[in-house]
Amino acid sequence: MKKMGYFILYIGLGLVALLQIFPLVWLVIFSLKDTREIFSSPPFSLPQELRWENYVRVLEGGIGTYFFNSVLYTAVAIILTVLLASMATFAITRMRWKLSAFVLGLFMVGLMIPVHSALIPLFKMFVSVSLIDHPLSIILTYTAYNLPITMMILLGFYYTLPREVEEAAIIDGCSINQLFFRIILPMTVPVMVTTVIINMIYNWNEFVFANTFISSDHYKTLTLGIQNFIGQYMTDWGAIGATLIISILPILIAFLFFSNKIVEGLSASAVKG
């Protein structure tokens, strides 16, 4: 009975995995068809001819610049977010000061602020400091919006760190900065990997802020670059599919390599009772 139960479980998980893979398979097929074939043939039918020229048009349409911008904005925002969140979490959980709980509450309030409610205030603020159509507007916004969720993931792990390690480091002459960068930060690598992946997924796929703050082609991200293939009277759906394939590859590769780390990091950040 136990073996039969495992067999049924694996069959069920296999079916769920197939359902999850179907959209990706459909998108690959979609990207290798032209617009006429996309709308005249069944969704999962194989293309009559592999339209690799869709990818050529995408590459000629400036996708390289958009890809580089997405990598740059995502990488810089991740570094700032994880570093600032680690510093703030360290100060709140490992140092004793009166307003620590209040400051933590202020950060957590950020989780309840809808993205769309902040668009107009942020736009007006960036206009006043001349940061509209500038990479900094995107990087600063990504960093600020990801700080609360990053801190929430880090909090549980920081609470479980043994105090004896810090006491031993201070006895050996470590300053606060040395204690954080040499002792605490290396100990939090497992949960930091989780926060990096979560930040990467959000930053890479973000559209609303980038579409609001960026207008120049040389500053656009991949999500904005897709609009170049949408016209008033005609849309190049094959090129859009090729762009989507190129845009999801980094996220897909990162998830395949670090999926175990995400689970380990979330488990490590759970508060132990």
Question: The domain spanning residue 230 has which CATH number?
Answer: 1.10.3720.10
Domain tally, the chain: 1
Of 25, 130, 36, 150, the C-alpha closest to 89 is: 150
pLDDT at 262 over 80: no
Does 205 reside within a domain? yes
Token couple for 68: 């580089």
Does 263 reside within a domain? yes
| pLDDT tens digit sequence for 172-227 | 888 888 888 888 888 888 888 889 988 998 899 898 899 999 988 889 898 887 77
Distance of CA 97 to the CA centre of its chain: 33
Q: What is 134-158 written as a DSSP string?
A: SHHHHHHHHHHHHHHHHHHHHHHHH
Q: What is the DSSP letter of 48?
A: S
pLDDT band at 271 (very low <50, low <70, confident <90, very high): very low
Does 81 reside within a domain? yes
pLDDT on residue 203 = 92
Of 67, 50, 79, 218, the C-alpha closest to 139 is: 79
pLDDT at 231 over 70: no
User: Alpha-carbon distance 43 to 27, whole Å?
Assistant: 9
Write out the residue range of the structural domain in which residue 74 sits.
61-268
230 strand-pairing partners: 235
How many other C-beta atoms can be found within 10 angstroms of the C-beta atom of residue 219?
19
Q: What is 154-173 written as a DSSP string?
A: HHHHHHHS-HHHHHHHHHTT
| pLDDT tens digit sequence for 82-140 | 999 999 999 998 888 888 889 989 888 888 888 888 899 999 999 999 999 999 999 99
Does 131 reside within a domain? yes
Of 199, 224, 57, 69, the C-alpha closest to 142 is: 199
What 231-237 contacts at long range (C-beta under 8 Å, 24+ apart), as own/partner pairs, is 234/35, 235/35, 236/35, 236/54, 236/57, 237/30, 237/35, 237/38, 237/39
Does 5 reside within a domain? no
pLDDT at 168 over 90: no
Does 248 reside within a domain? yes
235 strand-pairing partners: 230
Does 50 reside within a domain? no
pLDDT band at 79 (very low <50, low <70, confident <90, very high): very high
pLDDT on residue 25 = 86
Does 21 reside within a domain? no
User: Alpha-carbon distance 49 to 131, whole Å?
Assistant: 46
Higher pLDDT, 254 or 8: 8
